[in-house]
Amino acid sequence: MSKDDIPDLEDAIEQLAEYFGFKAHYDFKVKGETYRITYRQFLTAEVEHKLQAAEKSLEDCDRVEIVLPNGKKSTGLRYMSPLRRGGEILPDGRDALRLIAMWGEEKYRKFEAAGGPPEMLTTVWAKQESEYEKWRKTGSKSSDSD
């Protein structure tokens, strides 16, 4: 492979995503404004640190025991829904905080005001995981051995 054949980062990400059967980003518009959700594996270190900080900020949220239909208690506690701290409902849920970490406060608030659903983040990431699992079960669509 010559130096000219070495892809830049964005091209490398696109090639890797294609190999595993999904796109690296999910682009969409809300009221004419374009938004992009990048799959987790391709987030920059800076965004990943912001996501970790958002998750850490939820550690002291109120939790509840889950009781199964048979009356047994589930192991561990889960966050109350909607998220609460000291009984007070938080203004932003987990996906909203994640999108703020990814896009910044201003862009997220525009998305929210335009009617964008914050839970779209979890849905897009779940779609990517599903496509990857499908690839794993059916095998690579590429016979490349890069």
Mean pLDDT per block of 10 residues along the chain (146 residues) reads 81 89 90 93 94 92 85 78 90 94 96 96 91 81 47
| Confidence (pLDDT) at 64 | 86
Q: Model's pTM, two decimal places?
A: 0.78
- Please check whether residue 21 is in contact with residue 134, taking contact to mean a CB–CB distance below 8 angstroms: yes
| 146's tokens | 């890069």
3-state secondary structure of 15: helix
Q: Which residues contact 26 (CB under 8 A, 6 or more apart)?
A: 36, 37, 39, 124, 127, 128
| Confidence (pLDDT) at 143 | 44
Alpha helices in the chain (DSSP H): 9-19, 45-56, 94-103, 105-113, 120-138
